[in-house]
Structure 1
Amino acid sequence: MSISVLVGAQWGDEGKGKMVDYFAQQSDLIVRFQGGDNAGHTVINDYGVFKLHLIPCGVFNKDCQCLIGTGLVVNPDVLFEEMQQIVEAKLSLAGLKISSKAHILMPYHQKLDELMEASGGIGTTKRGIGQAYAYKAMRKSLRFEDLLNLENAKKKLENIVPVVNDQMASYQIEPYTVAGLFEKCQVWAKTFADMIVNPVAYLHEQIDADKNILFEGQLGAMKDIDLGIFPYVTSSNPIAAYAAVSGGFPAKKIDKVIGVAKAFSSAVGAGPFPTEEFGGTIDILRGTGEKPDDEFGARTGRSRRLGWIDIPVLKYTHAINGYDELALCKIDKLDDLPEIKICVDYKLDGKLIKEFPNTEDLEKVEPVYITLPGWLSDTTKIRRLDDLPDNAKKYIKTIEDLVGTTVAYVGVGPDREDLAIR
């Protein structure tokens, strides 16, 4: 039995979907443990190209169970659309389960998100994620367990809807009705009731049966609501420790933490991004959007902000998560670059700083770079780290030495098998 947690080591979009799809082949259970449908995991395998936002990437292994965990806020309509995508690919959903304690993202959450962004937001995806978590914190929320007791769900809606409509009135928006929302709950109950499980009992059954379990994180540590670049963050905790918190098991049972990083840096949305560059060499990495691994958001389609790899970020997120291994994705995107920059330090007001700065200071830091020679050769067919070009191995070794952990996997293309392993 083993419990592993896979998390984003940067700002999100690091290639977690590819890595979860790979590890799912050796896993008995994959658990999505936080977030919602505000970000997507792109998976490319023999079945096609998929952008999953709620369903764990283990769904492509027929022998792997998948749990949409307690820490999520789930839009049932989006989940149904994703399920249809899987069914159309002639794959089974028999192993897909939903935590009874996962909170339901309602239509008014999404509407409030749209309204708040229009009046000056932080660049959210307008999917209602923050509002769903806010209502969860206010105890004005439905959980999937309420779909198993519709009478109880209706009573809760009668308590929640007046609060919602007070907010809607401030935006001069038509009020929601209990009847209209309850009708949606009735439809959702018919669709999802057979998939809903007691998550703690279910997970402990898997642990007691010595199953191999992988927890799949969404976004990256720099977007953590507590430890990230607040307020330019997500509304949940995409760090390894939260897998145990939301899973309802002791953190000491986690055997391995796998961080996924990109061989350069990217970000979507507002907020500080010290290594960001515009045009020139860095734009070569973006692509045109025609390829599934070009630098455009899986959820939004927005062009990502791009920059060089940032060692202070990786050291900070390593301190938070404790990476046993790193997966370094998209190194093949650097194949044509004669030189590659690595940010190794920050200067603030002309002085090197040791501690990772707060958000306001991060906006002002000056990145300190070293430059390494590129390898100017194709890495896409390589499957062992030892077979990579010497300069690629030097690039990886430099990252390992500076961050203080081991790069065990290197992504050399978008497909599951495009992976060089140590």
Structure 2
Amino acid sequence: MLTAVTGINWGDEGKGRVVDLLSEHADYVVRYQGGNNAGHTVVTDKGKFVLNLLPSGILHPEVVCVLGNGMVIDPDHLRHEIEMMRYMNVKISPENLKISEKATVCMPFHVRQDVLEEERLSKTGEAFGSTKRGIAYAYGDKYMKKTLRMGDLLYLDSEVIKKRIAMIVESKNLILEKVYGQKPLSVEEVMDWCKGQAEFLKPYITDTGVLLEKAAAEGKDILFEAQLGALRDIDYGIYPYTSSSSTIAAYATIGAGIPKRKPERVVGVMKAYSTCVGEGPFVAEKAADGEWNDKLRKAGNEFGAATGRPRRVGPFDAVASRYGLQCQNAGDIALTKLDVLSSFEKIPVITGYRVNGKLITDFPTNVLLDAAKPEVEMLDGWNCDISSCRNWNDLPENAKKYIERIEELIGHSIYLVSTGAKRDEYLLKE
């Protein structure tokens, strides 16, 4: 079975939690896009793990984890993450971690350029809210053919690769010196950096497409793990406040390295409320007052897993969620963090947008989104701890009504509900 786990909203929906649960039955878990610009948080009996590049399946030692060709990989960050996981007694070796030779390398100068440009834009209030980790610049250079792929690290003695690095350095220096007034790079420092990465990562780099195609042909269970959500997709998201990659399920097998295949099952993940990290229009934060939002942020510990930045928060947005569901074509929906709402007397839900006085129910991805104001419906809270609920009938009536109202608004049933942060704190809705 080929299963994609994807985000319905802006990211941070709790995909890592769902991937961790589904990994118990998986043979392979594959990250197929993005870089270390977002994180997945998983809580197990061994502790709390924040994963930026490694798939959440790495917490299951029998699972083979793959970093696919659709990713951009910062080797420095990956090495640090591997070392941190080993420190926390997580098994990582070339047997259970494979890196695609076709994945794009996020170089130190990508990070440097990201920081410089975001600082320049911030002076005029036009910053994109970048994580400053070089992801957009690595993707940009991928399409301009001016960076390396992970497999190139295996052939640094080749004259072809040497000439390529020299061309890249010359091109980057034109930008760093002439645009930002920075000191130029040298070919030697870039080559030395590449050699250091190659020495550590060489055992992990392989043609993962061949590996996964063989696994698919044998009927193995392959789980595709997305980063961020549909509303951050480069094509379908709230452009230009998006990620630089395709976050939708249709891209899963392409970014994993097996383009002849397609996902047989898509699990869409959404929170019981709305959160957003970064800049751009976010209608949900207009739906409740600052006090309600502050309480929600504290109750849900809503701070970015990769950056630590406070997340923008608001009530559940049915308009945005319907659109995200359409983009992902999810057959199954997992609803996370329902427990965070347990202390609220009243819970708002966004049922529509009003733009220039006109009520709309379709999500706009253009400038109309900036002008949109939320139409809100108030629901009763349940005021009790639900973390021990393991069956649908264990939930308080108002919690059931809340879920059922969300199902009505998005036009789709929910199959899994997270009732707490721990691994076993969830229920399957029958």
User: Normalising by the residue count of structure 1, what TM-score does the alignment of the two structures yield?
Assistant: 0.96
Structure 1 contact 113–131 (Cα < 8 Å) conserved? yes
Structure 2 counterparts to residues 34-49 of structure 1, below 5 A: 34-49=33-48
Give the direction of change, closer, same or farther, for the CA distance of 1:401–1:250 in structure 2 (3 Å limit).
farther
* Aligned match of 1:4: 3
Structure 2 counterparts to residues 3-402 of structure 1, below 5 A: 3-94=2-93, 95-120=96-121, 121-152=127-158, 153-169=161-177, 170-250=179-259, 253-276=262-285, 277-287=288-298, 294-402=301-409
Secondary structure of 1:49's aligned partner:
strand
Structure 2 unmatched ranges of 5 or more: 122-126
Give the direction of change, closer, same or farther, for the CA distance of 1:392–1:215 in structure 2 (3 Å limit).
same
Aligned-partner residue type, residue 298 of structure 1:
A
Moved more, 190-199 or 27-36: 190-199
Structure 2 contact 284–316 (Cα < 8 Å) conserved? yes
The whole-number CA distance in structure 2 between the counterparts of 1:407 and 1:393 is: 11
Moved more, 194-203 or 67-76: 194-203
Q: Could you give the per-residue CA deviations for residues 338-375 of structure 1, whole angstroms, max 9, x where no partner exists?
A: 11111111111111124321331111111111111111
After TM superposition, give the deviation of residue 245 of structure 1 in Å: 2.0
After TM superposition, give the deviation of residue 252 of structure 1 in Å: 6.0
Structure 1 contact 278–306 (Cα < 8 Å) conserved? no
The whole-number CA distance in structure 2 between the counterparts of 1:297 and 1:358 is: 24
Q: Residue 414 in 1 paired to residue 421 in 2? A: yes
Aligned-partner residue type, residue 173 of structure 2:
N
The whole-number CA distance in structure 1 between the counterparts of 2:57 and 2:281 is: 33
Give the direction of change, closer, same or farther, for the CA distance of 1:332–1:41 in structure 2 (3 Å limit).
same
Aligned-partner residue type, residue 135 of structure 2:
I
Give the direction of change, closer, same or farther, for the CA distance of 1:212–1:395 in structure 2 (3 Å limit).
same
Give the direction of change, closer, same or farther, for the CA distance of 1:330–1:364 in structure 2 (3 Å limit).
same
After TM superposition, give the deviation of residue 182 of structure 1 in Å: 0.6
Aligned-partner residue type, residue 21 of structure 1:
D
Identity %: 40
After TM superposition, give the deviation of residue 250 of structure 1 in Å: 4.9
Q: Could you give the per-residue CA deviations for residues 185-235 of structure 1, whole angstroms, max 9, x where no partner exists?
A: 111111111111112111101101211111000011111111100011110
Structure 2 contact 68–257 (Cα < 8 Å) conserved? no
Structure 2 contact 351–361 (Cα < 8 Å) conserved? no
The whole-number CA distance in structure 2 between the counterparts of 1:282 and 1:337 is: 11
The whole-number CA distance in structure 1 between the counterparts of 2:114 and 2:23 is: 34
Q: Residue 405 in 1 paired to residue 403 in 2? A: no
Secondary structure of 1:370's aligned partner:
strand
Aligned-partner residue type, residue 407 of structure 2:
E
The whole-number CA distance in structure 2 between the counterparts of 1:420 and 1:122 is: 38
Structure 2 contact 6–267 (Cα < 8 Å) conserved? yes
Structure 2 contact 73–106 (Cα < 8 Å) conserved? yes
The whole-number CA distance in structure 1 between the counterparts of 2:128 and 2:110 is: 16
Structure 2 contact 31–256 (Cα < 8 Å) conserved? no
Q: Could you give the per-residue CA deviations for residues 361-410 of structure 1, whole angstroms, max 9, x where no partner exists?
A: 11111111111111111101111223211111111111112212221111
Moved more, 350-359 or 263-272: 350-359
Supply the RMSD in Å over aligned alpha carbons.
1.3
The whole-number CA distance in structure 2 between the counterparts of 1:102 and 1:250 is: 15
The whole-number CA distance in structure 2 between the counterparts of 1:251 and 1:307 is: 40
* Aligned match of 2:124: none
Aligned-partner residue type, residue 99 of structure 2:
I
The whole-number CA distance in structure 2 between the counterparts of 1:337 and 1:247 is: 41
Aligned-partner residue type, residue 298 of structure 2:
G
Give the direction of change, closer, same or farther, for the CA distance of 1:173–1:250 in structure 2 (3 Å limit).
closer
Secondary structure of 2:284's aligned partner:
coil
The whole-number CA distance in structure 1 between the counterparts of 2:133 and 2:189 is: 20
Secondary structure of 1:286's aligned partner:
helix
User: Normalising by the residue count of structure 2, what TM-score does the alignment of the two structures yield?
Assistant: 0.94
Q: Could you give the per-residue CA deviations for residues 290-334 of structure 1, whole angstroms, max 9, x where no partner exists?
A: xxx611111111111111100011110111111111111111011
